[in-house]
Structure 1
Amino acid sequence: MHPKNIDMGLERIRIVKERLGIRFDCPVVIVGGTNGKGSTCAMLQTIWKEAGYRVGLYTSPHIHRFNERIRVDGEMADDETLVGCFEVVEAARGDVALTFFEFTTLVALRLFAEAKPDAVVLEVGLGGRLDAVNLIDADVAVVTNVAIDHVEYLGDTREKIGFEKAGIYRRGRVAFYGDTSPPHALVGHALETGADLRIFGRDYFCRMHDGKWDYVGRKTLAELPSPSLYGDNQIHNATTVLAIVEALQSRLPVASDAIRRGLAHTELPGRFQILQDRPQIILDVAHNPHAAAVLAKNLKKTKPSGMTHAVFGAMADKDIDGVIALMKDCIDRWYLTDLPLPRAASAEVLKQKLMAAGIGQGKDSQCISVYHHAADALASAKNNALKNDRIVAFGSFWVVTGVTENSGLNSPTNHH
């Protein structure tokens, strides 16, 4: 449809949005950031659903089916509804060229405009300022954190990337930065825009004690359960989620028991997702150093008595060396896989990078193997793993897709 996969800018898509006459009367939340977007969106949707609200949720990418990207009231959009929206957007497009993500975003917005939910939650695809979801003026805009990723589109420093991500903030509307030490450019842009910026650790925070935690914002919520999504970073993400819920409390009142149920019932495939035990199989879409640091921390915290086997694949444009440096102390054997798209780094390239990082030398020369398909890499890891070992399949979303698609491991829910 469009000669380029990614073509930053909102001029073309805005024309089509106007033709479609898309408007929302309900609160809209836009969630950007380098990592934690999916978890933030999932928890927010579940808490509001537990409080009795219908939520329109748009996320990306999908793991198995395109329909996963567009949900109303927790349910994936069905084929018939989606195709109807495709036809409407295609007719409105005329001669305007749209990228895949732009077309998809218009389909989601059109579908939500028709479904009239109580709230809409939109996940940024890439960056913020020029991302398709930034067509909509959000009532609350969130940047979860800023780390180095997508350098060729967003810049090579946290300041440049922070500026791009802050583009979703709006004058007079609530804006969140869900981490400590925000980039100066992000804070500067929020001030210049006139957004009401609230920063994690300054305006709201969490207190941990005895396996429970407290949210402290304008009000305090004590003795909260740990989120069903695993890892300390999820309490961090949940703190920002509760700050969003608090910011919209006058329009979408939520009782504290709905918050507790929402935290306990959130499901999200591929975020330290434990598929089975003995040997344990863990899926994680950690594909940049910031996410790999979190994964490494979670792996060290839950160390098995046996070995750790890793199925790993990555896109060529990622900081693969940075990911390997963070993960290498956690992994005993590597099963490297090609991925089915041109942007991917080949398993052979990954092997060279591991060897350059000092893995697979001398007596350890057997610890790296190479596969064309993620499912084959997983099958080999399962053959070699003993009951007390664990297997972690991580890297690109395509790794999680590949290992669950043909291996009978179709993403059950998170369990611990």
Structure 2
Amino acid sequence: MEQLKTLDDWLAHCERLHPKTIDMGLARVKAVAERMGLNFDCPVITVAGTNGKGSTCAMLEAILLEAGYRTGVYTSPHLVHFEERCRVRGDIVSASDLVANFARVESARGQNGDEISLSYFEFSTLAILQLLADAKLDVVILEVGLGGRLDAVNIIDTDCAVITSIDLDHTELLGHDRESIGFEKAGIMRAGKPVVVSDPMPPQSLIDHAATLGADLWLFGRDFNFSGDKQQWGWAGRGRRYAGLAYPALRGANQLVNASGVLAALTALRERLPITAQAVRVGLSMVELPGRFQIVPGQPTLVLDVAHNPHSVAALTENLDAMGFYPCTHAIFGAMADKDVAPMLARIGPLVDKWYFTDLPTPRAATGEALLAAWQAGNSRADAAATAWPSPEAALAAAVANANPTDRIVVFGSFYTVGGILQHGLPRLSAPHLAPKAG
């Protein structure tokens, strides 16, 4: 085999190994994990759902770090660099740490000449899980990549499952209605262990599966809830309450629902991971997560959001609506070819005056021209305009050139769209050339 030295070498190797990009099923990945002797001796929190997973993981991490615990987090996908997928004690891991663990997976995969094929996601998940297992941690937070039941993360038994909002996404793999998708997400539950469902209207399949399994089900509105005004909010759950909390540092109306699930999970685990009210307050006030309704300072206003399905685009639209008046809203949008973009464009369309549809650097993406055609087919606004661009960077440059300082530019869609803007760091738009245009 060729000499694999860098993380990029290993990632390229992983991409070549398996005929299918996504191959649902746990038999192969479980067999390699057993060869590796992979196991955790600290509590594990597993987070599944359609939207809100990343925010939930970030809030759990921030509060637990503030409480003094040594945390490990695995999330996917990444925005710019692969290493972003794994954080240990709050810090993104180094490429060299990952390389050593990729080599361990490769060794186990080919043990005794009996080679097991792994997909890119399965291979990289095993490498990150091994890194976390070796890191002497107090708690590990694992975000499910896709679904739950058959996702590689689910080879690890969770001590507390968190299931965030459920909506239609990846329907070709997970099913075409919320009940089917709910059943897939329910696969992360374990008998006798708490499962926190922060979706206010969960599919019945989730509730039924918890009952069949004998999991300890925590339902939003029944076992925990929140109340709030414009100044502060409070949370109440089984045997515990928090009052006078500041809003999470992550923006958006949906973040209180996510934060409520986080506090329920921490309450369910309080005998093993006790935390103080002060850790909750400070953790929520300091949590950071790029690309989740992230407002970049400067003029014009720049908003970054990885909303890429109808449910998350609806949330983005509500959040944009709540920002107040802007003379003109410019939107940069890129998405995978398998996405049903029509309902997304229809939902956010009334707020967008100028569209910039973009190609993305992956064969799975729709072209900017295809997205433009989809928009034209459904557009009912005679005063809106749209163009197609070869990259998110080119689209942003065009939007900046067309924008007045008082305008707003929204970048949303695939992680590749937002990542394309962030790959050289946060853009600074308060440039001197952005003087108001005549007319």
TM class, shorter-chain normalised?
over 0.9
Determine if contact 2:250/2:288 at 8 Å carries over to the other structure. yes
Match of 2:436 in 1: none
Unmatched 5+ stretches in structure 2: 1-16, 429-439
Give, in whole Å, the separation in 2 of the partners of 1:332 and 1:96: 51
Match of 1:133 among 153, 161, 165: 153
1:356 maps to which of 364, 377, 390: 377
Paired residue type of 2:334: G
**Structure 1 residue aligned with 2:27:** 11
Q: Map residues 9-408 of structure 1 onto 2, 5 A cutoff.
A: 9-94=25-110, 95-218=115-238, 219-359=240-380, 361=382, 364=383, 367-406=385-424
* Aligned partner of residue 343 in structure 1, secondary structure: coil
Structure 1 residue runs of 4 or more that deviate by more than 6 Å after TM superposition: none
1:402 shift after superposition: 1.0
- Post-superposition offset of 1:406: 4.6
The alpha-carbon deviation at position 347 of structure 1 amounts to: 1.0
Distance 1:271 1:374 in 2: 17
Distance 1:205 1:386 in 2: 42
TM-score, normalised by the number of residues in structure 2? 0.91
Per the alignment, in what secondary structure is the counterpart of residue 168 of structure 1?
A: coil
Counting aligned pairs with the same residue, the percent is 51
Residue 330 of structure 2 aligns with an amino acid whose one-letter code is: H
Instruction: Measure the CA separation in 2 of the matches of 1:318 and 1:55.
Output: 34
Task: Answer yes or no: is the 8 Å Cα contact 1:26–1:118 preserved in 2.
Answer: yes
Residue 407 of structure 1 deviates from its aligned partner by 7.4
Q: Please state whether the residue corresponding to 2:141 is helix, strand or coil.
A: strand
AA of the residue aligned to 1:78 = S
Provide the secondary structure at the position in 1 that maps to 2:22.
coil
String of CA shifts for 1:294-347, please: whole Å, max 9, x gaps.
Answer: 000000000233211001111111120111111001111101101111111111
CA distance in 2, matches of 1:125, 1:382: 34
Q: Which runs of 5+ in 1 are unaligned?
A: 411-416
The structure-2 alpha-carbon separation of the partners of 1:102 and 1:407, relative to structure 1 and needing over 3 Å to count, comes to closer
2:296–2:426 Cα contact (<8 Å) kept = no
Q: Is the 8 A contact 1:127 1:165 kept in 2?
A: yes
For residues 216 and 115 of structure 1, what CA distance do their matches in structure 2 show? Answer: 34
CA contact (8 A) 2:70 2:137 kept: yes
Instruction: Determine if contact 1:31/1:142 at 8 Å carries over to the other structure.
Output: yes
Name the Cα RMSD after superposition. Answer: 1.2
294-303 or 174-183, which deviates more: 174-183
Partners of 2:167 and 2:29 lie apart in 1 by 27
How many residues get paired? 407
| TM-score when normalising by structure 1 | 0.96
Classify the secondary structure of the residue corresponding to 1:115.
coil
Distance in 2 separating the partners of 1:305 and 1:322: 23
